Structure 1
């Protein structure tokens, strides 16, 4: 296959702090061959290599969205959307993710394994890490996706079923949610600590990690005790509602055990904050800084597919963290190197290094000077395949 040589004003290979001025990346057969300063990398390229220069641009790893739902359509009726989901519709959503710079997406809840089937039929383009139907209680949060189970025996059987479907990760609804009518409230536990531990144990037997949806603090604590790999939303709602219960001991345990937190806020986070009002918004967003202060490693995701959370503008979603005071280099690392580690993909993607997948972006300007430049894309390459060119 023809080699591709990409050069730009700078390369940000990852993690934060690494920068190569006047850099280049050489790729072949979907794999990165070399990364470094332009002249030495150019010498490694074959005479027939395709050469692309991006003056003023930045080359960096492809972005990772750690929480999406390809079977949902961002509308008001997720159950209907999931029932009507087709691979054609999912392909359109995957393309929108790609065009926003996302080269890897973790799908955390589909109907009966649709995202797994879609992953297997699309070996090129967007890399998908799929959970299959999330495990929930009968009539529980997202029961309509087909993953209901009750009692330890059924829970273990459901984990095995998802593994047989080809799941990359097990998703469990440790708490209730807000998109399923007549189901447990967001702060309610759906499983006991022992049941969550059984799910983690069975997943480990299959070589799989566990992602736990948990809004309530009690559910967060139970998920941490069970040893999940990531906690989704991690909202810290007080039992019974009525505010937040930020427990230092639970936060310390999450940090100590290396569990990642994915708060999964949409690209339109500004609109959400505006609707909350200044006082309540401050209460809601302050927990992000509190988690960071406790050493909890946060990873970004958008819950794309649920109401008002589209599959576009990942750069806009990442600006939430700049609003919260995170520096830009750290934000880029969160969306690349750190997310790859959380998903078990450090040996595959998340940085630019020889032997890793050719997943990369070329931005028009410098995202370390202006994070919005992550949305000004000249090229998106996923697994060596050019997915989007602009201008």
Structure 2
């Protein structure tokens, strides 16, 4: 189907790309033309469906670079996952995928699921038998025996096991690899500041991922683990908290290497950051401010599904990026084109331009002036298809 979408402002996805009284022409799954409404709409086919969004904003669909569809966002999502059958988890994951799309998230990186269920959800969305964002899946996160998220089912304890896990995931259809290099906050007996793998094991996972033409995302809270991830040359670092058993140990030297190597950082800011306070938050924000001053590339990702972070609160994570000093333009980039670059899909999504996939959202307001207006997404197009919000 062909659409001519018109609005008071069209955001291209990059800084400065704002078209007043703009329009987007869509044919099937692709964007054909973007520009002023007068030019784009001058010679359209009479069969084109015209939608005038008036004072709204049209912009690229947003990207959440860190979600867990199998967590329910309750106060204790781990317990529910452990008690659930695979069939029950699948129902939950399909439900959460709909919530993401309803929030304006048209692409998401699934950062760890049980029993390869993320592949089932991805395939169902692509076939049109389920509704949700375009998914990039990692299958089960690679962890150590009893390590963070061990209950998702991929425990490894040496380089041979790590190498086999990477190969198994790529064979199954993983879009990228996720490894838990340090412990985490949600797994009993797991300390976020301790490494779960030695340097050689992480190096093996990174080498094998890249050999198979896959990016690798590394969960790293601890300062030592972050330095390892930087040294072996991973693609994205998740959380990047710089924590130790007694506080923080931010390394300017390691941070500079992150910038030099072009590693993207997913801080996993989310709606929960608005509930934080005290010295822990203050020091975390100070460290992030130092990282930003170096020119670090931040990508939007919320860790959706973890404790009290439901999948329909994506914009809370963008609001939290204001806390760390990003401008509204920078936040929109982190949620669109910069996120797409980190995921290796910037030739397909992340901007509104001819030839790009038609992932487009309409926002009641102007997010360049007020990032919170992104709560007011009232129309979504994913790959040229408009879901019925009444069903979402």
Q: Which residue of structure 1 aligns with residue 96 of structure 2?
A: 93
- Superposition pairs of residues 318-357 of structure 1, within 5 angstroms: 318-357=318-357
| Partner Cα separation in structure 1 for residue 44 and residue 89 of structure 2 | 42
TM-score using structure 2 length: 0.94
Displacement of 1:45 in angstroms is: 2.4
Deviates most, 105-114 or 80-89:
80-89
Q: Which residue of structure 1 aligns with residue 283 of structure 2?
A: 283
Question: Which string of whole-angstrom CA distances, capped at 9 and with x for unpartnered residues, describes residues 340-386 of structure 1?
Answer: 00001101100001111100111111111111111112311111111
| Partner Cα separation in structure 1 for residue 146 and residue 313 of structure 2 | 33
- Superposition pairs of residues 102-251 of structure 1, within 5 angstroms: 102-123=105-126, 124=128, 125-183=132-190, 185-238=191-244, 241-251=245-255
Displacement of 1:28 in angstroms is: 1.3
Q: Which residue of structure 2 aligns with residue 371 of structure 1?
A: 371
| Partner Cα separation in structure 1 for residue 20 and residue 27 of structure 2 | 22
Question: Which string of whole-angstrom CA distances, capped at 9 and with x for unpartnered residues, describes residues 219-259 of structure 1?
Answer: 00001111110000000012xx1111110110011110000
| Partner Cα separation in structure 2 for residue 329 and residue 370 of structure 1 | 10
Displacement of 1:318 in angstroms is: 0.4
Are 2:255 and 1:256 equivalent residues in the alignment? no
Q: Residues 354 and 151 (structure 1 numbering): CA distance in 2 closer, same or farther, change over 3 Å?
A: same
Where does structure 1 differ by over 2 angstroms across 4 or more consecutive aligned residues?
Answer: 82-88, 387-390
1:212 aligns to what SS in structure 2? strand
Q: Which residue of structure 1 aligns with residue 65 of structure 2?
A: 66
Q: Which residue of structure 2 aligns with residue 15 of structure 1?
A: 14
| Partner Cα separation in structure 2 for residue 49 and residue 33 of structure 1 | 12
Displacement of 1:389 in angstroms is: 5.1
Displacement of 1:79 in angstroms is: 5.0
Q: For the Cα contact (< 8 Å) 1:377–1:389, is it kept in 2? A: no
1:365 aligns to what SS in structure 2? coil
| Partner Cα separation in structure 1 for residue 207 and residue 388 of structure 2 | 41
Structure 2: unaligned runs, 5 residues or longer: none
Q: For the Cα contact (< 8 Å) 1:381–1:388, is it kept in 2? A: no
Q: Residues 100 and 6 (structure 1 numbering): CA distance in 2 closer, same or farther, change over 3 Å?
A: same
Q: Which residue of structure 2 aligns with residue 268 of structure 1?
A: 272
Question: Which string of whole-angstrom CA distances, capped at 9 and with x for unpartnered residues, describes residues 175-226 of structure 1?
Answer: 001111123x100011111111110111112110100000001000001111
Are 2:387 and 1:387 equivalent residues in the alignment? yes
| Partner Cα separation in structure 1 for residue 348 and residue 90 of structure 2 | 25
Q: Residues 196 and 307 (structure 1 numbering): CA distance in 2 closer, same or farther, change over 3 Å?
A: same
Displacement of 1:165 in angstroms is: 1.4
1:86 aligns to what SS in structure 2? helix
Query: Alignment length, in residue pairs?
Result: 382
Q: For the Cα contact (< 8 Å) 2:299–2:334, is it kept in 1? A: yes
Q: For the Cα contact (< 8 Å) 1:194–1:226, is it kept in 2? A: no
Q: Residues 303 and 153 (structure 1 numbering): CA distance in 2 closer, same or farther, change over 3 Å?
A: same
Deviates most, 26-35 or 74-83:
74-83
Q: For the Cα contact (< 8 Å) 1:57–1:364, is it kept in 2? A: yes
Displacement of 1:388 in angstroms is: 5.5
Question: Which string of whole-angstrom CA distances, capped at 9 and with x for unpartnered residues, describes residues 120-164 of structure 1?
Answer: 121054100110001111111111101111111111000001111
Q: For the Cα contact (< 8 Å) 2:270–2:318, is it kept in 1? A: no
Q: Which residue of structure 2 aligns with residue 24 of structure 1?
A: 23
| Partner Cα separation in structure 2 for residue 69 and residue 298 of structure 1 | 19
Displacement of 1:44 in angstroms is: 4.2
Deviates most, 93-102 or 118-127:
118-127
| Partner Cα separation in structure 1 for residue 215 and residue 325 of structure 2 | 30
Q: For the Cα contact (< 8 Å) 2:359–2:381, is it kept in 1? A: yes
